[in-house]
């Protein structure tokens, strides 16, 4: 059965700290891995990763995929209180299987 596991489930850090969120997966015919940030309602898209070892970066956020070990990490440097959210990881299987398979999310709380 396809599954996505995120760790930790929750994390509390202080402003300015660096955090690393983990996502491991077991999916038949992997196509891509996506990271989303969910604050109150709509998950907002962060990154889509398809190739191993290529870091994607957006400001203080970065992410990388390891297709051999079947995991991805999301790094946030110099955290701010606005980074407090649930970070969701989802995996797309190959063309022909259109659903996203989601992890349970990591709840990140940044204390001032």
Q: Does 45 bind other proteins (CB under 8 A)?
A: yes
Residue ranges of alpha helices (H) inside the chain are: none
28 binds other proteins (CB under 8 A): no
The whole-angstrom separation of Cα 30 and Cα 94 is 6
Closer to other proteins at the Cβ: 41 or 68?
41
| 11 contributes a contact to other proteins by CB under 8 A | no
DSSP 2: -
d(CA 77, CA 7): 18
Give contact residues for other proteins (rule: CB under 8 A). 4, 34, 36, 40-45, 48, 88, 90, 97-105
């Amino acid at each position: 059965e396809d599954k996505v596991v995120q760790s930790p489930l929750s994390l509390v850090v202080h402003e300015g700290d660096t955090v690393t969120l983990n996502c491991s997966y077991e999916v038949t015919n992997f196509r891509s891995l996506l990271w989303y940030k969910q604050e109150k309602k709509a998950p907002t898209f962060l990154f889509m990763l398809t190739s191993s070892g290529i870091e994607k970066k957006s400001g203080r956020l970065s992410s990388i995929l390891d297709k051999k070990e079947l995991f991805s990490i999301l790094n946030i440097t110099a955290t701010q209180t606005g980074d407090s959210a649930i970070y969701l990881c989802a995996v797309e299987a190959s063309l022909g299987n259109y659903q996203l398979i989601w992890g349970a999310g990591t709840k990140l709380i940044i204390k001032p």
